[in-house]
A and B are shown apart, each in its own frame.
Chain A
């Protein structure tokens, strides 16, 4: 590209101005990557659980309701169900940190059969099953907190009026797109504490939800219907759905947030078009005579248009590329999720998202450059030259 040299020199003409434009694009694209990745990780994880054939039984009142623990055995006994476990969010404090990581009360006998993508060494699993106050934690969590098998893990109750004095009995690992920062412990331990606690307002015996693994993918939907039909006329009807649909339900809850963020991003993008466009227009106003000279010596209008657009897109592309791929690089080398206080189990920027960020930046460059470019292309040679002479 024989014109690249000239474009590049123009970009460097006013380094400070270029740097400001590049920075504003880089910062914006960096943040956009974080937001976009957050939502796309969410939907990616949601759809990736399809293969595990799991269904989630909630109370028909949703997250606020409870599911009687007796249902666990009843569901496990149904045709087509491989195993089932209670799944209760504890949400305790660790070292006075609120919501440091996810904690669930589960059935040690079935949990790792149901979540068979999570691997825990056989001897550790045996230890866990044999110790009612034991727990198994994710590898990442163990690394973050420097925890080993045998270490105590006290959790102070926040929603529940009871404290758990857990001991790490095992450490599980799993695929990168799974939460490897969970802590799972025996649901019965929690239930006993609740039953014996004087402040407790319930008698226990309830699970937050029940997760069951089906023997085949085809069995999932019919089983969901069957379970809901079964409890339809009881005092505690259920809402059963596949794990994927359950994840989507979470996604739906964030829909409003997602819309707000999308709108804010759009506004920021439009603002950036103006910022970059103004910088470009300023730069070209200073070059009126030069443009006229180029045209005089034979540069056609379309070539001038191309040169200006290419310059605007180059600046925006460099900024956007730095922001988007810089963000990706950062998330690839540093485990960002660790600093999210348990909000994100893992975090990464996909190549597709980073590329999309670059394309977005190029579009910003295009739209910021189009008006100055058209003006430059249509400017009169005579007037441009007269300005100086």
Chain B
């Protein structure tokens, strides 16, 4: 990455800034109208942090998450992830970058229904040069981490919501990305399953030092994160670090 021509400025080091947003604005255009969604937003997230994004519906949480994950581009400002200025990557490079660096977790799991748990988790690995046996090894490891060993031949419809979401998490971590983005990962789950998913995310953050950005409406879920950000009408209104409460992210 350091030989990358788009590499942005200072070299990366442990504990350095994992996510840097500088004056980021995002607006959608619909016909003649411009709909401003995010307005000159500044944000920095340390490597290994677990960040929760909260805010009312329509406040731009998903939009912000999409920018951080390289799914969408800012209208102005810089989005620098792990030293990489995403705005400068052409489309194909950006896609490749996502495959290498980001794991996605969605509210509705978004598994491929015609593929088994194993095959779903294997999908991102098809983009790599790994041999079949190496892919298998990695898939089994990921399934073990999420506690679904023995379920690899099940189809999504044969799994509970909580289990489906765990397969989705296995799919998100199987390529060992360093950033995980989750958009309301517990939004469709009951308390118990939600708790298990949050435990898992916490574990991934603590043990595997994954940087996690999670959008949630649930204050209890947000409590699990090391830091909570509130978004309102496209602006960050406060920035509550929970480190003082003993919920220490990996930044310590």
Contacts and interface: CB of A to CB of B under 8 A. Distances in A.
Interface of A: 2-3, 5-6, 9-10, 12-13, 289-290, 293-301, 303, 381-382, 385-386, 388-389
B114 A10 contact: yes
B124 A297 contact: yes
B232 interface: no
Given A9-B115, A289-B110, A298-B127, 8 more contacts: A2-B132, A3-B126, A9-B119, A12-B114, A301-B91, A382-B72, A388-B107, A389-B183
B106 A385 contact: yes
Nearest to A3: B126
Contacts of B123: 6, 294, 297
Nearest to B171: A297
Interface of B: 62, 66, 69, 71-72, 91-92, 95-96, 98-100, 104, 106-108, 110, 112, 114-115, 119, 123-124, 126-127, 132, 171, 183-184
Most buried by B among A5, A296, A301, A385: A296
B62 A389 contact: yes
B157 to A, nearest CB: 13
Contacts of B114: 9-10, 12-13
Contacts of A9: 112, 114-115, 119
B64 to A, nearest CB: 13
B191 to A, nearest CB: 21
B172 to A, nearest CB: 8
A296 B104 contact: yes
A6 B62 CA distance: 29
Contact of A382 (B71, B96, B171, B184): B71
Nearest to A300: B95
Given A290-B112, A389-B184, A295 B106 contact: no
A233 to B, nearest CB: 81
Contacts of B112: 6, 9, 290, 293
A6 B123 CA distance: 9
8 contacts: A6-B119, A6-B123, A12-B114, A295-B95, A299-B127, A301-B91, A385-B71, A389-B107
Given A2-B126, A9-B114, A12-B114, A296 B62 contact: no
A189 B126 CA distance: 80
A296 B126 contact: no
Contacts of B132: 2
Contact of A296 (B71, B91, B108): B71
Contacts of B66: 382
Contacts of A12: 114
Contacts of B119: 5-6, 9
Contacts of B171: 297
B108 A389 contact: yes
Nearest to A380: B72
Nearest to B128: A298
A6 B72 contact: no
Contacts of A5: 119
Nearest to B132: A2
Given A3-B126, A9-B115, A381-B71, A298 B110 contact: no
Nearest to A5: B119
A71 to B, nearest CB: 76
Contacts of B62: 386, 389
B108 A388 contact: yes
User: Which 9 pairs from chain A and chain B are nearest by CB?
Assistant: A298-B99, A9-B114, A293-B110, A300-B95, A297-B124, A298-B98, A388-B108, A13-B114, A2-B126
A300 B184 contact: no
A297 B98 contact: yes
Given A2-B126, A9-B114, A297 B184 contact: no
B175 to A, nearest CB: 8
A289 B107 CA distance: 13
Contacts of B99: 297-299
B96 A300 contact: yes
B101 to A, nearest CB: 9
Contacts of A389: 62, 106-108, 183-184
A5 B122 CA distance: 11
A70 B229 CA distance: 112
Contacts of B72: 381-382
A3 to B, nearest CB: 6
A289 B69 CA distance: 17
Contacts of B124: 297-298
A298 B95 contact: yes
A299 B114 CA distance: 18
A293 B126 contact: no
Most buried by A among B91, B96, B114, B127: B114
B73 to A, nearest CB: 10
A290 B96 CA distance: 18
Most buried by B among A2, A289, A386: A2
A311 to B, nearest CB: 12
B53 to A, nearest CB: 14
A281 B175 CA distance: 32
Nearest to B172: A297
A315 to B, nearest CB: 15
A5 B98 CA distance: 23
Nearest to A6: B115
Contacts of A301: 91-92, 95
A144 B251 CA distance: 91
Nearest to A298: B99
B158 to A, nearest CB: 15
